[in-house]
Amino acid sequence: MKPIKLNIKTKSASYPIIIGSNIIKNLVTYLNKNSINFNKCLLVIDKKVPNKMISEITRSLGRKKIFKFVYFANEKNKNLSYVNKILQILLSENFSRKDCLIAIGGGITGDVGGFAASLYKRGLQFINLPTTLLSQVDSSSGGKTGVNTKEGKNLIGSFYQPKIVISDIKFLKSLPKREIICGYGEILKHSLILNKIFYKYLDNNGKKIFKLKTPFIEKAIFESCKIKKLVVEKDEKETGIRKALNFGHTFAHAYEATLGYSKNLNHGEAVILGIVTALKFSLKNKLMKTKDFQVIIKHINKMNLPSNIKKYFSSKSLNSILSFMKKDKKNTSKKINLILLKKIGSLTIDNQYNIEKIKKFLKKELVN
């Protein structure tokens, strides 16, 4: 199957997303075609990426002067300390703004690397090579970068678009099933918020996508990126419709933070739990019909996705979850802003609820 190309055009930048299998070996060709030039580059690499893939990337870069920063990318290491370590390398090697930072890893690596690139001399060329399904379908495009703090997730960051995103399906073949589930959560989210036809495609072909079968995995990635493109081009800085991409995330980020970004709950798993919680809240508040709710839950169960928050939390967790929800970056008042679903392909973005109403709802979810 030939590589698929999708172009994103925002007010601040335009760049391509290339999707295909075994395409990373042609990295320099893609850079040249898109007039991306540099002498030096820093590879910011997640330690979990197989060495043979890194070797393939370095070979494809040819005579470029290459520096490497390898670290264990997890939510706990997604912090300012690691951003500073990257900046110190760029400073000590006297990178110019015409040089380049290449992120090789999942969403965390892209967020940390992209944030460092946005800070260095007010903007260093940034290339994203996402290696997880979640990052290929969501976080690698759109320009959101940032880090976590003890106060919450992604509260410090910037909007900074990459020069190019290259999503090689070959990377996905080294991932455990749990990582595929995480990515599928974001794919499902995209279908629910804006594309009923895509949702039906997932319902019919979800198992094939899980097995990374061609052309099903390529279509899933492409359609997700197309939805992201549609939203980001209309609202780059998340002042309106882009909030839709946070469906399920207000709950999800609070769940992750409550567990201290534990390995027991990955971001993608938290997103799926957050989606289920948001669906239940939508139903409870009569924004969606029972039949629409049941159709989605049936699909989640069919795909064996995590759906029971009581597996991870008890009523003792309630105050912590609420505390982190209060700090969510979408809030503009003392009320909590939730993105909620009316039906598949239709949602409502600015729903303000007081904390007591959410507390009452979550208490029942954690006890019943």
Q: Which residues are catalytic?
A: 122, 144, 186, 228, 238, 242, 246, 249, 253, 267
Phi then psi dihedrals of residue 37, to 5 deg: -120, 145
CA 72 remoteness from chain centre = 18
Residue 229 CA to residue 238 CA, distance in Å, equals: 13
Residue matched to tokens 């939730």: 338
With the CA atoms of 224, 248, 151 and 126 taken in that order, what torsion angle do they form, in degrees rounded to the nearest 10? 0
- Alpha-helical segments (H) within 211-317: 216-234, 249-258, 267-284, 290-302
Report which of 64, 239, 232, 37 is spatially closest to residue 127, judged by C-alpha positions: 37
Residue 116 CA to residue 160 CA, distance in Å, equals: 10
3-state secondary structure of 328: coil
Residue 149 CA to residue 225 CA, distance in Å, equals: 28
Phi then psi dihedrals of residue 332, to 5 deg: -120, 0
Residue 365 CA to residue 141 CA, distance in Å, equals: 34
Sign of CA dihedral 267, 270, 276, 282: negative
3-state secondary structure of 211: coil
| DSSP E strands, the chain | 4-9, 14-20, 40-46, 65-71, 100-105, 125-130, 144-149, 152-159, 164-168, 336-343, 346-353
- Alpha-helical segments (H) within 47-79: 51-60
Bridge partners for 105 per DSSP: 130
Report which of 161, 135, 10 is spatially closest to residue 78, judged by C-alpha positions: 135
- Residue 176, classified by CB atoms within 10 Å of its CB into exposed (0-12), middle (13-18) or buried (19+), is exposed
Q: What value, to the nearest 5°, has the Cα angle with vertex 15 and ends 166 and 116?
A: 75
